[in-house]
Amino acid sequence: MTHPLVAEAKALAPKFADRAAHWDKTRSYPWPNVQDMTDAGLMGMTIPTEYGGQGADYLTVVEVVEEIAKACTLSARIVVEANMGGISAVMAYGTDEQKSHCAPIVLAGDKPAICITEPEAGSAATEMQTTARKQGDTYILNGTKHWITGGGVSKLHLIFARVLDEQGHEQGIGGFVVHIDPANPPKGFEIAGREHTMGLCGMPEATLHFKDLEVHEKWLLQPPSGLRRGFADLMNAYNSQRVGAGTIAMGVAAGALDRAKTYLLERQQFGRPLAEFQGLQWMIADADIQVHAARLMLREAAKSSDPFPDIASAARAKLFASEIAIQVVNNSLQMFGARGYSDAEPLERMYRDVRMFTIGGGTAQILRTQVAGAALGIKTPQTRDGYDPKVEQIAAE
């Protein structure tokens, strides 16, 4: 039986498909879709019922995300970030005050921004330079994050920073929940610049500067392993977002394949429907198998969550889905001939959109390393000695 939330997503899909080209061409955020998804209960559906959400599990979320992604990649990214990643970290590691504060904001349509990447720390996220130094009951944040999805539209931000005590000794990498009004950010929080991206054009990818930004200590998340090992806990929560990202890629691929199948049955050449040519049938068969396999891996990862998918399940599923999606969308475009290369069809946009998923959220190379580590049963630190806060003095008085 179809879950009611999945039925809601299916009902929204045709409308979202009609609007998708508009957000791409105008590079604008799909606010009307956000309103529709809020009304349908898709924003914050994983938030527990005691905080006003529906306590939906990740299996339901990935089924919803697939339906939305078939129609509008941008909107699917919003659903993922309103249910996985940052908000999941808050719901798992937050204090009651943090959860009570964040839940209504997401349920009203906010997609929290997750702020990890920096100009000099991309894959090497453990080399981040942003610091949060304790001063009384406040932390003072300094640093720059870039490629922040939703920077400039999101209200909630989960900012990863090296946490320093009053003497400047590092305690570990922590996550701060920072609520801002993007139209009127506080002193010390600057939304600077926006990338000009190949696809996913309606989503701002922003640079954020923090200059002596004051954040009360009550907004620091409390991961179970404590600050020193808290980075691993935060990344564990982030594994849910990787499964979400893989699902978007798979959903786009499934949407492209559906369109190609319809076209092959309609378009005639050599006096026959294209669907009768074996060369194209085999392209359809390969794509069908690839999408099917990716869907199974993603659902397996979602189902195994306890409370999050483990590092290897998430890496394996996101890596496989993002790579097959590029091939499937590319081959679907090919089956449309010249028409696929034009904006008469959504395939060219889907191709530009789907290209991102082997990069953002952990590159294919980084994820392969994580799968290899799990397969071999060894640790695979990429930093020379592995990340381990040595409680060293970073910022001397």
* Residues engaged in binding ligand COA (CB under 6 A): 114, 116-117, 123, 125-126, 231-232, 235-236, 239, 311, 361-362, 366, 379, 381-383, 386-387
Query: In whole angstroms, what separates CA 375 from the centre of its chain?
Result: 25
Take residue 61 and report the two structure tokens written for it: 């979320």
Judged by DSSP in three states, 206 sits in strand
Cβ distance to ligand FAD smaller for residue 148 or 329? 148
Identify the CA nearest to 76 among candidates 16, 155, 14. Answer: 16
307 cis-preceded (ω within 30 degrees of 0):
yes
In the bound state with ligand COA, the residue whose beta carbon lies nearer, of 65 and 275, is 65
The helix (H) or strand (E) run that includes residue 294 is: helix 278-303
Among 34, 68, 106, 114, binds ligand FAD (CB under 6 A): 114
Report the residue number, 163 or 208, with the smaller CB distance to ligand FAD: 208
* Contact partner at residue 231 from ligand COA, ligand FAD, none, CB < 5 to 8 Å by partner kind: ligand COA
User: Which residues ranging from 118 to 137 are in contact with ligand FAD (CB under 6 A)?
Assistant: 122-123
Contact 178, 159 (CB under 8 A): yes
Closest C-alpha among 283, 285, 252, 370 to residue 319 = 370
| Residue closer to ligand FAD, measured from CB, 104 or 122 | 122
Q: Which residues contact 12 (CB under 8 A, 6 or more apart)?
A: 33, 36, 37, 40, 68, 71
Q: Which helix (H) or strand (E) holds 311?
A: helix 311-335
Residue 148 touches which of ligand COA, ligand FAD, none (Cβ within 5-8 Å per kind): ligand FAD
Query: Among residues 204 and 340, whose Cβ is nearest to ligand FAD?
Result: 204
Distance CA 394, CA 139 (A): 15
Q: How far apart are CA 389 and CA 164, in angstroms?
A: 11
Strand, helix or coil for residue 202: coil
| Smallest gap from residue 36 Cβ to ligand COA (A) | 26
* Shortest CB 218 distance to ligand COA, Å: 25
Stretch that binds ligand FAD, among 89-97, 108-116, 135-143, 311-319 (CB under 6 A): 108-116
Residue 386 interacts with, from ligand FAD, ligand COA, none (CB under 5-8 Å by kind): ligand COA
CB 81 within 8 A of CB 114: yes
Q: Output 385 or 397, the one with its CB closest to ligand COA.
A: 385
Q: What's the CA angle centered on 248, arms 243 and 249, to 5 degrees?
A: 100
380 is a site residue for ligand FAD (CB under 6 A): no
Q: Three-class SS of residue 367? A: helix
Task: Name the residue with the smallest CB distance to ligand FAD.
Answer: 122
Q: How far apart are alpha carbons 339 and 362 in whole angstroms?
A: 33
239 contacts which partner out of ligand COA, ligand FAD, none, CB within 5 to 8 A by kind?
Answer: ligand COA
Other beta carbons less than 10 A from residue 194's beta carbon: 14
Residues 332-371 that bind ligand FAD (CB under 6 A): 356, 359-361, 363, 365-366, 369
Residue 115 interacts, among ligand FAD, ligand COA, none and using kind-specific CB cut-offs from 5 to 8 Å, with ligand FAD
Q: Which residue has the tokens 């938030």?
A: 47
Binding ligand FAD (rule: CB under 6 A), the pick from 269, 382, 386, 388 is: 382
Binding letters toward ligand FAD, positions 134-173, x by CB under 6 A = -------------xxx------------------------
Q: How far is the CB of 331 from ligand FAD (least distance, A)?
A: 23
Q: Which stretch binds ligand FAD (CB under 6 A): 115-123, 134-142, 272-280, 317-325?
A: 115-123
387 interface partner picked from ligand FAD, ligand COA, none, CB below 5 to 8 A per type: ligand COA
Could you tell me which of 368, 286, 275 has the C-alpha nearest to residue 320? 368
| Cα 6–chain centre separation | 19
Closest CA to 243 of 159, 306, 300: 300
Positions that interact with ligand FAD (CB under 6 A): 114-117, 122-123, 147-149, 200, 205, 356, 359-361, 363, 365-366, 369, 382
